[in-house]
Structure 1
Amino acid sequence: MTYCVGMVLERGLVLMSDTRTNSGVDNISTFRKMFHWQVPGERVIAVMCAGNLATTQAVISQLEERTKEPDERDNSLIRGRTMFNVATEIGRLLRSTIEDAQRSNGEAGKGRFTASMILAGQIKGMQPRLFMIYPEGNFIEASWDTPFFQIGETKYGRPIILRGYERDMRFEDAVKLLMVSFDSTIKANLSVGLPLDLLVIGKDEFAPLHQYRVTGDDAFFETISSSWGAALRSALDALPSYSFDSPGGSERDRDVD
């Protein structure tokens, strides 16, 4: 399992992913799940992966190989006219990779090679765009009504983003919000873990504005984690007290009466 989040802001895009991959509690490894490519001054494209590791590595390897070929006509990352074209080609590649793996393994292998991806980036002359690509190769695009996508272990960190997100927030505040989301997910699920990879893409920059890896000894992340826990306890203590004598009210309500 994994956890990846892509977020659209008025200022650009913010991406974060964990690096834990496990096949049981006694077989835990670290693999990068965030990748990006750029053509200076013209485009920047990033991909995050979740699901079967062999499947996602096969897709990323094929994308990497295409960037190294002299004839780049088939390279959607470099030659795609729009982010929609890029999403379409990556979706086709993901679907065909899964289908090839399933054919090689027969009926017993069906369902074992599923994977999904988040695609983010900007091409010159167009707006930054964010897509979620499904195993079937189809995809959806983020909007201001749905300004972020998650893949992997999504349920623990989603409520935090829903409550804290603002489209005009600063990049620094968005990073802080994502760190809280990831901290809560890590606390709740052993299949998500550090290090975390962070990528910030500023609008019309066509290059990463900020890249960072959050490791286990990162002082800022430790402060975020401990401060968030203390803030939750403080908020809980500040809520009205429940009363066994008056379940519909609280001790504070009875004091007022």
Structure 2
Amino acid sequence: MTYCVGLKLERGLVMAADTRTNAGFDNVATYKKLHVWEKPGDRVICLMAAGNLAVTQSVVSLLSERLSREENGASKSLFSAETMFQAARLVGQAVRDVRAIDGDALAANSENFSVTFLLGGQIRGEAPRLFQIYSAGNFIEASPDTPFLQIGEHKYGKPILDRVTRSDMRLGQAAKLVLLSFNSTLRSNLSVGMPIDLLLYNTDSFSAHRQTRIEEDNPYFADLSHMWSEKLRDAVAEIPDFEI
């Protein structure tokens, strides 16, 4: 399975995805699920994927192919979209195109066409935006009331995001929160696994240079996990016991 989360903040975006895929208990592999297209000085677009790996890879490949085709005047692409809304529509159309090609074959083999995407980024002329795109190609957008979106195994990492996320958070503070969300998910769900790919995007930077991969032996993540467990134990101990 998968866990991906995106936060849209006043200072920019934080996007993170795990890398585990599995087709049964004895067939576990690592695949990159966070994909970035960058046009320095003009736009940064990040796409994260959950669901059928073959389908998500087809969608990403189709979007990348259309970038090169557009250079020859063949079609519109993520590099020519005038807004992030138009970019989300292009991703949705790519999902529908892949369904038209592979949907019947998947159905004939009793496999679901099940994919979801998180699309975040900024195109010059507008603020950063964040979308969740569904299997039908339709989508929703993050808002000030709901500044984060999740796909995949989101239920374990959602409570801390619900309680703590604020639009005015610093990106480093938000990244810490995202990693705590992943820590809770990793502790409770074996279908989500490290390493974690992480992107911090500063508003109006139009650069994706703040990317990293958090490996299992990452000292910050290890310390964060230990400190979080200790703080939770202390908090529980400090709350008065229930009496009846």
Assess same fold via TM > 0.5: yes
* Equivalent runs, 1:163-182 vs 2, <5 Å: 163-182=163-182
Tell me the secondary structure at the aligned position of residue 127 of structure 2: coil
Residue 119 of structure 1: how far off its partner (Å): 0.4
Tell me the secondary structure at the aligned position of residue 137 of structure 2: coil
Distance 1:147 1:73 in 2: 36
Identify which of structures 1 and 2 has the higher relative contact order when contacts are C-alpha pairs closer than 8 Å and 6+ apart: 2
Q: Does residue 83 of the first structure (1) align with residue 76 of the second (2)?
A: no
Q: Residues 6 and 149 of structure 2 are in contact (CA less than 8 Å); yes or no, is this contact kept in structure 1?
A: yes
Tell me the secondary structure at the aligned position of residue 113 of structure 2: coil
- Report what 1:188 is aligned to: 188
Q: 1:132 to 1:175 in 2, by over 3 A?
A: same
* Equivalent runs, 1:127-138 vs 2, <5 Å: 127-138=127-138
Q: Does residue 162 of the first structure (1) align with residue 132 of the second (2)?
A: no
Could you tell me which amino acid in structure 2 is paired with residue 144 of structure 1? P
* Deviation digits for residues 84-126 of structure 1 (CA, Å, limit 9, x no counterpart): 111011101112212421212444435x221010001111111
Q: Residues 66 and 72 of structure 1 are in contact (CA less than 8 Å); yes or no, is this contact kept in structure 2?
A: no
Distance 1:129 1:119 in 2: 8
Q: TM-score of the superposition, structure 2-length normalised?
A: 0.96
Could you tell me which amino acid in structure 2 is paired with residue 232 of structure 1? L
Residue 73 of structure 1: how far off its partner (Å): 5.0
Distance 1:90 1:72 in 2: 19
* Deviation digits for residues 185-220 of structure 1 (CA, Å, limit 9, x no counterpart): 000000001000000111111112511100010000
Q: Residues 76 and 85 of structure 1 are in contact (CA less than 8 Å); yes or no, is this contact kept in structure 2?
A: no
Tell me the secondary structure at the aligned position of residue 79 of structure 2: helix
Could you tell me which amino acid in structure 2 is paired with residue 127 of structure 1? A
- Report what 1:238 is aligned to: 238
Residue 68 of structure 1: how far off its partner (Å): 2.7
Could you tell me which amino acid in structure 2 is paired with residue 77 of structure 1? L
- Report what 1:253 is aligned to: none
Distance 2:55 2:10 in 1: 33
Once the two structures are aligned, what percentage of the paired residues are identical?
A: 47
Q: Count the aligned residue pairs.
A: 243
**Cα-Cα RMSD:** 1.3
Tell me the secondary structure at the aligned position of residue 44 of structure 1: strand
Q: 1:171 to 1:103 in 2, by over 3 A?
A: same
Q: Residues 63 and 75 of structure 1 are in contact (CA less than 8 Å); yes or no, is this contact kept in structure 2?
A: no
Could you tell me which amino acid in structure 1 is paired with residue 41 of structure 2? G
Larger Rg: 1
Distance 1:204 1:20 in 2: 32
* Equivalent runs, 1:138-157 vs 2, <5 Å: 138-157=138-157
Judge which range, 66-75 or 52-61, deviates more: 66-75
* Deviation digits for residues 32-62 of structure 1 (CA, Å, limit 9, x no counterpart): 0000111111111110000000000001111
Segments of structure 2 that go 5 or more residues without pairing to the other structure are none
Distance 2:73 2:143 in 1: 31
